[in-house]
Structure 1
Amino acid sequence: WDWRDVGGVGYLDPVLDQGECGSCYAVATVRMLSARHRIRQRDPAHEPFSISFPLYCSEYNQGCNGGYAFLLARWTQDVGLVPQSCGNYSSSGRCELRCRVDGITRRWRADNHRYVGGYYGAATEREMMRELVSGGPLVASFEPKADIMYYSGGIYRSVPNQRTEWEKVDHAVLLVGFGEERGQKYWILQNSWGKEWGEEGFFRMARGTDESGIESIVVAADVVEATHPSGAVLLDFARGL
């Protein structure tokens, strides 16, 4: 299964390079919401949502100094989402909008943000596969070892990671599919280190073994129309900028 090509149709945004900004959590979360919205609306050409808006405007995380996908999804549920044209990705660090929110005819927000498995650390391979196929891409996090920087292709495996009650994970990516090659199961993930890295910005990681914690902290969320009164929250927020 691969959301890059489902019956000849792709639902993902292009690979992005996050640069020097520690924004992996925001990139992965907003890319998840954009893809899931396209899937639900059956509109693969729908404009992406802005990454910069929740990255720099949310007080729930620390902007380019890092954050959590779960909290970013919560903020976009509380405040709302805006189109990418309202704020292209940059490392400016400024909370700003380049559009009039009151001119957006239909407003959207995240909904039902959740951990796959029901709570932090409870994801399983089977639940991840089921949620991925039924709802769309997910945000997965893992603990990157030094060798991941030099990954150029194949199914990634690092030093075996013993599963504990508390998984240490430091990098968020977009989980977009899964497969099997010569009896070896793998996940397909989109990174945010540019197209020159890995398999044109994507990578495959061993599946079913909780490689580097990838099957532990997994976040999902849906996108719904922000009708009144929830739609007014975004307007009020924009007026304060």
Structure 2
Amino acid sequence: MKILVLPVLLAATHAFVPIDLKSGTLTGKALVEYVNSVQSLFTVEHVDVTKEFMKSRVMDVKYASPPPSDEIRSTEVNTVLAKKIPDTFDARKKWKNCTSIKMIRNQANCGSCWAFGAAEVISDRICIVTKGARQPIISPTDMLECCGYYCGYGCDGGYSIMALRWWVSTGVVTGGDYQGDGCKPYPFCMSAGCPDAVTPDCALSCQSKYNKEYAKDKNFGSSAYYVGWNVSVIQTEIMTNGPVEASFKVYEDFYKYKKGVYQYTAGEVLGGHAIKIIGWGTENGTDYWLNANSWGADWGEKGFFKMRRGVNECGIEGNVVAGKADVDTL
């Protein structure tokens, strides 16, 4: 009789806690079948890759949190809450002329998400503050190569706040994805014959086909700061200044995410990850953050995903950072 009752109990509690202690040991197809059978908030699909490959696309889990030595609240922005926060918000719709907000980039098998998240936020905010007059696609490669120990350890991970501080102090050049445009395009891709994802040496020069000097291609920020844990504070920041960067712990069921509102259900932790939050909404009664990932448009909802909002799911609300462009240098 207990065997018949258990699935009902599990289904009733899936929206609040991980299902059971054994779920953390599930992997592969067994994990997919389990997650899809015990909850209905989101859907996962089987991806035929090794666990080592999955881990190569995230960073060391320590980078999901602020630097240990950081006085996190000392640089938190003093946000005046918006008088009215809408039930739904999508930065792609508010700033329709900003191409970068709609872009999904691809970090390949390098744990450079921290640099991608920062580069995406910087790109968006330059466009927003100039009302679309300037729309550079900022290079994650420049930070990956040259920020060094200040930010972290390249393809092994880095701190999102340090990447934005580096933008303020040093500036960041332009650069698209693999073999793309700009000063420093990304050196890695997912196709056969692509270079191994090993952190490159710092190069203070642009690719040969780019007709601008490295130093003159730099874009600078005027500030870099933590955004408060409060949901309304994060929403106000996004509505006012543009998308933000957030970091969280990644589990195997997130890697296999296909659609819906994600919440951790089963699988072991793979590492830390940084993404861009561009909005929020509610789906089937569940509040969510709307996010842009950097795993290409074939992952998730054409590269985007939703994650439960208001419960600090996997730590997503605990390490939100942003910055402002230096308008005097634009």
Q: Fold conserved (TM > 0.5)?
A: yes
Q: Could you say which residue in structure 2 is the equivalent of 1:132? A: 238
Take 2:159 and 2:102, find their aligned partners in 1: how far apart are those partners?
21
Q: Secondary structure at 1:112's aligned position in 2?
A: strand
Distance verdict in 2 for CA 1:102–1:54, change over 3 Å: closer
Take 1:208 and 1:44, find their aligned partners in 2: how far apart are those partners?
35
2:98 touches 2:132 (CA, 8 Å); kept in 1?
no
Take 1:124 and 1:75, find their aligned partners in 2: how far apart are those partners?
26
Name the aligned partner's letter for residue 64 of structure 1.
C
CA deviation vs aligned residue, 1:31-54 (integer Å, no higher than 9, x gap) = 001101101101176121121111
Name the aligned partner's letter for residue 189 of structure 1.
N
Q: Could you say which residue in structure 2 is the equivalent of 1:147? A: 253
Counterpart of 1:70 (choices 148, 161, 166) is 161
Take 2:280 and 2:290, find their aligned partners in 1: how far apart are those partners?
5
Distance verdict in 2 for CA 1:112–1:2, change over 3 Å: same
Instruction: Write out aligned runs for 1:7-46 (5 A).
Output: 8-11=96-99, 12=101, 14-43=103-132, 46=135
CA deviation vs aligned residue, 1:115-167 (integer Å, no higher than 9, x gap) = 112xxxxx12111101010010000111111101111001111149xxxxxxx
CA deviation vs aligned residue, 1:86-142 (integer Å, no higher than 9, x gap) = 1011247132221413555xx53122111112xxxxx12111101010010000111
For normalisation by structure 1, the TM-score amounts to: 0.81
1:33 touches 1:221 (CA, 8 Å); kept in 2?
yes
CA deviation vs aligned residue, 1:5-48 (integer Å, no higher than 9, x gap) = 22644441521121111100000011001101101101176121
Q: Secondary structure at 1:152's aligned position in 2?
A: strand
Q: Could you say which residue in structure 2 is the equivalent of 1:4? A: 92
1:138 touches 1:218 (CA, 8 Å); kept in 2?
yes
Identify the range of structure 1 (90-99 vs 208-217) with the bigger mean alpha-carbon deviation. 90-99
Larger C-alpha radius of gyration, 1 or 2? 2
Q: Could you say which residue in structure 2 is the equivalent of 1:100? A: 213
For normalisation by structure 2, the TM-score amounts to: 0.60
Q: Could you say which residue in structure 2 is the equivalent of 1:224? A: 326
Counterpart of 2:140 (choices 16, 38, 51) is 51
Structure 2: unaligned runs, 5 residues or longer: 1-88, 176-181, 189-197, 207-211
1:16 touches 1:192 (CA, 8 Å); kept in 2?
yes
Name the aligned partner's letter for residue 87 of structure 1.
K
Take 2:126 and 2:93, find their aligned partners in 1: how far apart are those partners?
16
Distance verdict in 2 for CA 1:206–1:53, change over 3 Å: same
- The alignment's C-alpha RMSD in Å is 2.2
1:13 touches 1:31 (CA, 8 Å); kept in 2?
no
2:92 touches 2:102 (CA, 8 Å); kept in 1?
no
Percentage identity across paired residues of the two chains: 32
Name the aligned partner's letter for residue 224 of structure 2.
H
